[in-house]
Structure 1
Amino acid sequence: MVITYIAGPISGNIDINKQAFLNAADQLQSSGRVVLHSASLPVGLTEPQYMDICFAMIRACNEMVMLPGWRQSTGATAEYYYAKKIGVVVRDFNQTLKVSR
């Protein structure tokens, strides 16, 4: 079973960015993956609390998919390097869709 964590920007334009997570999750789930992402978390936590939860989700995954614009997000960049450090496979979202088809 492939368990995928989606990483990307949320801050800034929250509504549009969260919708990008939801759209990506739908597409990835349709390929049979179990999908985790931070856009499903409640509003009101601190940045360290969000990162703690996200790092736990990353540890539960065997793949991470990076949404467009992730390099401009300090949180997504931290998630990327954490995943690489612990051996989680990291892919670009658009490349993942090509591989899944």
Structure 2
Amino acid sequence: MKLYIAGPMTGSPELNFPAFHAVAARLRALGFEIVNPAEVDVGPNLTWLACMRADIKLLVDCDGIALLPGWEQSPGATVEHTIARGLGLRVIQARHIVGVGGDMPVISQEAVVELLDEAEAA
């Protein structure tokens, strides 16, 4: 299963690359194929739009998106989230992923409880 990592970068120390790299390493160790935008080289002209163009091209070829904490406050990550949902990709909080089973991510018990709580509140 191929997952794209989305989260805040702009305005974060070191563009939040350490968090992206740590999650990428953890998910790769679990057996996922990972697309990490912190590893995408868009050349010397690193404008926000240039980065988003490169990243979105990679996102659409993934099976799902793994969201880092704070993604909701990131303009880029919210665009990526919207695209992933619109395409019917799996959308998962990165912290909830504990394994892969076939072509499905395995989520933690904490994630199941959180999802049930959200469903009851709705």
Same fold, TM-score > 0.5, yes or no = yes
Q: Deviations over 1:44-67 (max 9, x none)?
A: 322221111111111110011000
| CA distance, structure 2, for counterparts of residue 59 and residue 16 of structure 1 | 23
- CA distance in 2 between partners of 1:91 and 1:9 (Å): 16
Give the Cα separation in 2 of the matches to 1:48 and 1:97.
33
Structure 1: runs of 5 or more not aligned: none
Bigger RCO (CA 8 Å, 6+ sep): 1
Aligned letter for 1:83? Answer: A
RMSD between aligned residues: 1.8
More deviation, 40-49/73-82: 40-49
TM-score normalized with structure 1 length: 0.89
Query: Which structure has the larger Rg?
Result: 2
Per mean C-alpha deviation after superposition, the further-off stretch among 49-58 and 74-83 is 49-58
Question: TM-score, with normalisation over the residues of structure 2?
Answer: 0.74
Query: 4+ residue runs of structure 1 moved beyond 3 angstroms?
Result: none
- Equivalent residue number for residue 74 of structure 1: 75
Aligned length: 100
- How far, CA to CA, are the matches of 2:82 and 2:69 in structure 1? 16
Task: Report how far residue 100 of structure 1 moved.
Answer: 5.8
Per-residue deviation at 1:96?
Answer: 1.5
Q: Distance in 1 between matches of 2:26 and 2:63?
A: 18
Counterpart residue number, 2:9? 10
* Consecutive unaligned residues in structure 2, runs of 5 or more: 100-105, 109-122
Q: Offset of 1:16 from its aligned partner?
A: 6.4
